[in-house]
A and B are shown apart, each in its own frame.
Chain A
Amino acid sequence: MAYRMVCLMKQVPDTRNITADVLREDGTVNRQALPAVVNPDDLFALEMALDVKDKYGGEITVMSMGPPAAIEVLRDAMSRGADHAILLTDKKFAGADTLATSHVLESAIRKNGPFNLIFCGRQAIDGDTAQVGPQVAEKLDIPQVTFAEAIEFLDQDDIVIRRAIEGGFERIRGRIPLLVTVTNAAANPRPPSIKRKMFWKKAQTRSSVQSEEEGEMLERGLLIPVWGLAEVGCAAEICGFQGSETWIKNVENVKLTAHEPKSFDTSETGIKELINELINEHII
């Protein structure tokens, strides 16, 4: 059986290495200054989909909701072996919380047609919520397996998945259609093929190519479809900022009081003083 798969991927600011250059005077992070990367867990999700495709056959459609720049995620996914890519972008999608995001993704998945398996990363490093996957599954009215580490068995509709739980794992058996969220303990993402990378580097959305180039781009398969509100067919009230039920009341800068710790120098004597103080105060 060839499987129809959708992989949901997101572009995120790389919060893994916030260096001093991206900090503002007040200690807040200048988000724009962080490099944009494919959300790390999403690459593991794509790998799991590619593995199903390699073993059993099938087609993978990658979708990413985000600003036009998120096309980079789709180029990356295509270079690694995905079959189709769709960019979900619209001003109306902006400012979405996880609930509003799940509405857009649900509509886009339905619009894309029948599916057997949906993959997403366990969580995105800019929010760490791990909410979007389960919220999409609920909206599609299909089961979910979160924190998946491997698909251990797949035959027609039957599936066995190993998923992480606190301090161990579970093997869980059921039937597809199913949404799976994948952790970084799953098989390592394969690198993009150089050839595909060179090719997909040129991929564009229709709005960003000159009209005289359009025909040729289309013929070569380099035009990445863009779905906005109209194409996705989702009501504006449930998307983006408007569709979000969590509202930000306020954001406060945490003022680190100019509190001075008692300092000790790094010499043996300095450290000895510290250790003695701790011992005298019965801390150690």
Chain B
Amino acid sequence: MENGVWVFIESDSGTIADVSLELLWKGRELADQLRCELGCFIIGHQVSDAASDLIAYGADMVCVADHAQLVHYLTLPYTRIAVELIKEYRPSIVLIGATSTGRDLAPRIASHMRTGLTADCTDLQIGEYKFGKRIWKELLWQIRPAFGGNVIATIVTPETKPQMATVREGVFRQPDADPAREGTVVDLKPTLTEQDLIFKIVERVKAEKKVNLKSARIIVAGGMGVGSKDNFELVRELAGVLGGEVGATRAAVDAGFVDHERQIGQTGVTVRPNLYVACGISGAIQHRAGMQESSRIIAINTDSDAPIFSVAHYGITGDLNEVIPRMIKAYKEKD
């Protein structure tokens, strides 16, 4: 199983994280292209049942590390188990979800393996890379918007293995399960050391995910143009009237207008609703990366040159403070 594509499967109380399944979908595609196997590893407690699901979703091999004390993520034992697996199976690619767990784990593994890691990729492909006279075939192209306006960088890790990347939720699609698929399950039976358990979780409070932007059919998103936290009420009202969810840009989140979980874009969630209403959003590449595949996009912006208009299907050049109330009124008056 050397040189395979591997995915870290994140789970919480036995439920597999969406992002991990999305990575299996992409991982399957990459493995088929590379003519290699798709492996994955799941660490937790009472996760053995998940193994057959993971095979149905496309894995050829599932390594299970089940231990009562691994029920929640802990940096040290998770890293140690992952590193031991990587050293044993020598995958050529390792993909990890860019969640709070993945963002703690991935750099720790990469640092240990002294290999490269690219955060928040918005696409992954296989391709070649030439540098001077040297040429590498079949490298992982780690694609992400680069800071610097409308640019997309393709990053490669030619000289070390594994090639590592993290990806946010929603970027790839969910695989379909095929219960007839076959694969192997390796039970790792981990033993933990005192050093592994130097940190313990004494309390954990986790609310059910309140917002589910990914499955919303309509999203009304606000940016800096909304102006203030109070004025964001306008965006909420329009979302409420249309039966949609509220989204935001990073700038709006940073400014404290809304919670971080509503951030859309490269470092937030990627969404593909039927309708996306962008209010006071300039349309920076990092934002577009998370919404440009929406079926219909309405842009409301005072600046007719704002880049958001080039991905929009409907454009209104004007002040959202006038436009939104009129939209609400027009919708309420329909029929």
Would A172 and B201 be within 8 Å (CB), given that A18-B284, A131-B110, A144-B104 are in contact?
yes
Which residues of chain A are within 8 angstroms of B124 by Cβ–Cβ distance? none
Task: Name the B residues within 8 Å of A18 (CB-CB).
Answer: 284
Residues of B within 8 A of A245 (CB): 114-116, 157, 159-160
Q: Choose the segment among A53-61, A159-167, A196-204, A222-230 that binds chain B (4+ C-beta atoms closer than 8 Å).
A: A159-167
Q: How far is the CA of A138 from the CA of B149 in the complex (A)?
A: 33
List CB contacts (< 8 Å) of B107-162 with chain A: 107-108, 110-112, 114-120, 129, 131, 141-142, 146-160
**In the assembled complex, B99 has its CB within 8 A of some CB on chain A:** yes
The answer to the question of A15 belonging to the interface, with a C-beta cut-off of 8 Å to chain B, is yes
How many whole Å from A190's CB to the nearest CB in chain B? 19
Q: What residues of B have a CB within 8 angstroms of the CB of A253 in the complex?
A: 150-151
Which A residues are CB-close (under 8 A) to B331?
Answer: 275, 284
Number of interface residues of B (CB under 8 A): 92
Q: Assess whether B206 is in contact with A172, with CB atoms less than 8 Å apart.
A: no
* Chain A residue contacts of B261, Cβ below 8 A: 166-167
A29 to B117, CA, bound (A): 24
- Inter-chain CA distance A170–B76, complex, in Å, is 16
Tell yes or no: A220 within 8 A of B by CB.
no
With A247-B155, A262-B314, A266-B316 given, is the CB distance from A128 to B199 under 8 Å? no
Stretch of A2-10, A19-27, A72-80 with 4 or more beta carbons under 8 angstroms from chain B:
A19-27
Q: Do A174 and B314 have beta carbons less than 8 Å apart? A: no
Residues from chain A with Cβ under 8 Å of B312 in the complex: 261
8 Å CB contact of A250 from B154, B160, B319, B322? B154
Which A-chain residue is minimally distant from B200 (CB atoms)?
A173
Set of chain A residues within 8 Å of B173, measured between Cβ atoms:
none
Contacts of A188 in B (CB 8 A): none
Complex Cα distance, B266 from A250, in Å, reads 19
Is A99 a contact partner of B110 (Cβ separation < 8 A)? Answer: yes
* Prevailing SS type, chain A contact patch: mixed
A148 to B108, CA, bound (A): 17
Give complex CA distance A263, B313 in Å. Answer: 8
Q: Does A39 count as interface, using CB distance less than 8 angstroms?
A: no
Give bound CA distance, A99 to B163, whole Å: 13
Cross-chain contact B117 with A131 (CB below 8 angstroms): yes
Assembled-state Cα–Cα distance A284/B333 (Å): 14
B150 and A249 contact, CB distance less than 8 A: no
Partner of B100, one of A160, A166, A270: A166
A284 to B120, CA, bound (A): 32
Contact B314 A130 (CB under 8 A): no
Q: Identify which of A256, A258, A262 gathers the most chain B CB atoms within 10 Å of its CB.
A: A256
Minimum C-beta distance from A26 to chain B (A):
7
Of chain B, the residue at the smallest CB distance from A259 is B310
Most-contacted residue by chain B among A139, A244, A253, A264 (CB, 10 A):
A264
* Secondary structure of the B contact surface, majority rule: mixed
The reply to whether A251 and B147 contact each other, CB–CB distance below 8 Å, is no
Contacts of B157 in A (CB 8 A): 245-247
Question: Does B329 reach chain A (CB closer than 8 Å)?
Answer: yes
Contact between B199 and A29 (Cβ–Cβ < 8 Å)? Answer: no
**Which chain A residue lies CB-closest to B101?**
A165
Cβ A249 vs Cβ B251 within 8 A: no
- Which residues of A from 247 to 279 have beta carbons under 8 Å from B? 247-259, 261-266, 268, 270-272, 274-279
| Contact present for A271 and B207 (CB under 8 Å) | no
Contact pick for A249, options B99, B155, B207, CB 8 Å? B155
For the complex of A and B, 10 pairs with smallest distance between CB atoms: A245-B116, A28-B149, A174-B199, A266-B318, A261-B315, A246-B116, A168-B206, A138-B111, A135-B111, A256-B310
A selection of 16 A-B contacts at a CB cut-off of 8 Å is: A16-B254, A27-B150, A28-B149, A31-B147, A31-B148, A102-B111, A128-B267, A135-B107, A146-B103, A170-B72, A173-B201, A173-B202, A251-B154, A253-B151, A257-B310, A264-B315
Q: A131-B103, A249-B153 are in contact. List 14 more A-B contacts (CB 8 A).
A: A18-B284, A28-B149, A99-B117, A130-B119, A135-B111, A165-B204, A166-B209, A167-B207, A172-B199, A173-B202, A247-B156, A261-B310, A283-B274, A284-B242
B-side interface residues toward A, CB under 8 Å? 72, 75-76, 79, 99-101, 103-104, 106-108, 110-112, 114-120, 129, 131, 141-142, 146-160, 198-210, 218, 224, 242, 251, 254, 261, 266-267, 274-275, 284-285, 295-299, 307, 309-319, 322-323, 326-327, 329-331, 333-334
